[in-house]
Amino acid sequence: MEVAGKVWIAAGGTGGHIFPALAFGRWITENKKAERVVYLSGNRPLEAEIYASQGIVPYCLPLAGSPLGSSSLAGRLGRWAGLLSSFFRVGRLLARGRPDVCFLFGSYVSLAPLLWCRLLRIPTVIHEQNACAGKVTRLAARLGAHVASGWAECRNIGAFVYVGIPIRPMKKISRKEAATALGVDAGEENLVIGVAGGSLSSVSLASLAGRVARIDSPRTPKMVVVVLGGSPPDAAPDSFGSRVRFVGRRWDMTPFYSLCNVVVCRAGASTLAELAALGIPSLAVPWKNAADGHQEANARCFAALTGNPIWDEEDEPALDAALMQLLDFSCSRAESAETIKENSPNEALWQRASSSSPTTHGFQKSV
């Protein structure tokens, strides 16, 4: 396949969209698949923080969220205005030079580049990280873009190709190094249960830390609960007991994954893909308010793939049983993987761009 001159990658909203996009962009660069990669993002502080953590400055669109996601009239009108402004900004970016191919990673940030690229017949591939296609993905499919799915299931859409989710290469470090990096005293012999609330730092999931720490079982004589993402705003960390450690929000997941024996997490696609690749026993807790129930769909796919349990947080009595199942599962499993290597989703995703090109021999470079 020919090397592309310029590639666009549009990703914003949350880490679940952005980190797979960054992993894919890094793979493109390291494998010299394109001469230049341009990232397009929204203007939420969270997005800027994630990109900055990877040393990348994206082309920023004036978008802070989907117009359909605001509860107030003023908020919706402001977001519609931002969407219209984004359409013109993408047009100005195109005037500087068209990309040879555009990769979209979902969310509202993908809408303006999607419309422009389909209008100009620029090869376009949208990657859907979730097992339930979002609104922009559904629109992209109707407009003729190729849809690549992170899971073998992609609800609400007809035709898609399963490629998996691009994830960051990672090599685990020693528990001592990991504990030092996180600033916690976990103890070499302790069982460490990690609680991860995702890039938006789920307060309700962090609130479970105290209950998890009170599990009384022969399997947990020495246990530490490490909460990634901070503590609930109305509760002091000390109220959770001596077993609980709060380490705040972090973008480098290597220390957390290296330290934890098991993980309790939301069912964000990127997190689940990394846990599956590393083989860390995990309890998925889908967020009920996720659009179209996509976290529940993700969790089911994750459970089918790995055998890990799922817990419905509305069923409080079932939590202890779910955690015990997780601990039993961890005891029966071999050691988890030490590395996440370059994974096949990147190559498969790149191949989708080639097949969507107007030529049969790679990309038709823009002039």
Of 205-214, 290-299, 331-340, which gets the smallest average pLDDT?
331-340
Q: Provide the pLDDT for residue 98.
A: 95
Clarify whether residues 212 and 312 are in a common domain: yes
Clarify whether residues 302 and 244 are in a common domain: yes
Clarify whether residues 51 and 158 are in a common domain: yes
Q: Is residue 360 part of a domain?
A: no
The pLDDT of residue 359 is above 90:
no
Q: Which residue has the higher pLDDT, 2 or 308?
A: 308
Q: Provide the pLDDT for residue 235.
A: 56
Domain span at residue 95?
4-167+342-355
Q: Is residue 366 part of a domain?
A: no
Clarify whether residues 114 and 235 are in a common domain: no
Q: Is residue 349 part of a domain?
A: yes
How many angstroms separate the CA atoms of 275 and 20, rounded? 14
Clarify whether residues 163 and 184 are in a common domain: no
The pLDDT of residue 239 is above 70:
no
What is the average per-residue pLDDT within 125-132? Answer: 95
Q: Provide the pLDDT for residue 1.
A: 47
Clarify whether residues 333 and 350 are in a common domain: no
- CATH number for the domain that contains residue 319: 3.40.50.2000
The pLDDT of residue 207 is above 90:
no
The pLDDT of residue 231 is above 70:
no
Clarify whether residues 40 and 120 are in a common domain: yes
pLDDT tens-digit profile of 58-77? 999 998 878 777 778 887 88
The pLDDT of residue 313 is above 90:
no
Q: Report angle CA 189, 310, 188 to the nearest 5 degrees.
A: 5
Q: Is residue 84 part of a domain?
A: yes
Q: Provide the pLDDT for residue 2.
A: 66
Q: Is residue 289 part of a domain?
A: yes
pLDDT tens-digit profile of 83-116? 899 999 999 999 999 999 999 998 889 999 999 9
Quick one: pLDDT band at residue 170, thresholds 50, 70, 90?
confident
Q: Is residue 362 part of a domain?
A: no
Clarify whether residues 55 and 161 are in a common domain: yes
Q: Report angle CA 106, 13, 349 to the nearest 5 degrees.
A: 35
- Closest listed residue to residue 158, CA positions, set 130, 126, 123, 133: 133
Q: Provide the pLDDT for residue 219.
A: 57
Clarify whether residues 302 and 184 are in a common domain: yes
Of 19-28, 124-133, 144-153, 237-246, which gets the smallest average pLDDT?
237-246
Q: Is residue 364 part of a domain?
A: no
Of 83-87, 155-159, 220-224, which gets the smallest average pLDDT?
220-224
The pLDDT of residue 334 is above 60:
no
Predicted TM-score (pTM) of the model is 0.86
How many angstroms separate the CA atoms of 103 and 303, rounded? 28
Q: Provide the pLDDT for residue 361.
A: 32
Q: Is residue 361 part of a domain?
A: no
What is the number of domains present in the chain?
Answer: 2
Q: Provide the pLDDT for residue 221.
A: 58
Clarify whether residues 106 and 210 are in a common domain: no
Clarify whether residues 204 and 331 are in a common domain: yes
Clarify whether residues 149 and 187 are in a common domain: no
